[in-house]
Amino acid sequence: MSRASLSAGAAGEGMEFKADALLLRAVDYGENDKMATLLTAERGKIGAALKGVRKAGAKLRFAAQPFCFAEYVFAERGGRFTVTQASLHDGFYDIRTDLAAYYAAASVTEMCGTISFEGMPCGALLVCAVEALEALDADQSAPERPLLKFLLEAAALAGYPVSAGDCPGCGKKIAGRRFFDMTAGAFNCADCAQGVPASASTYEAIRAFLTKGELPPEREGYIRAVRLLKAYLTYHTEAELPALGEFLRLSPLKI
Ligand SMILES: [Zn+2]
Residue pLDDT, tens place only, 48-81 = 999 999 999 999 999 999 999 999 999 999 989 9
CATH number at residue 169: 1.20.1440.120
Residues 54 and 106 in one domain: no
In order, the DSSP letters of 38-56 are EEETTTEEEEEEETTTTST
Q: Which of 90, 105, 124 is the last residue of a domain?
A: 90
255 domain residue, yes or no: no
119 domain residue, yes or no: yes
Percent of the chain with pLDDT over 90: 85
- How far does residue 174's CA lie from ligand 1's centre (Å)? 7
Residues 113 and 49 in one domain: no
Residues 147 and 221 in one domain: yes
pTM of the prediction? 0.92
Q: What whole-number distance in Å separates Cα of residue 90 and Cα of residue 74?
A: 19
Q: Which residues contact 45 (CB under 8 A, 6 or more apart)?
A: 24, 37, 38, 39, 112, 113, 116, 117, 118, 120, 122
The domain containing residue 132 runs over which residues?
A: 93-250
Residue 44 and residue 117 in contact, taking contact as beta carbons nearer than 8 Å:
yes
- How far does residue 208's CA lie from ligand 1's centre (Å)? 20
- How far does residue 108's CA lie from ligand 1's centre (Å)? 33
Residues 104 and 230 in one domain: yes
CATH number at residue 25: 2.40.50.140
What would the pLDDT profile of 148-169 be if each residue is shown by its tens digit? Answer: 999 999 999 999 999 999 999 9
12 domain residue, yes or no: yes
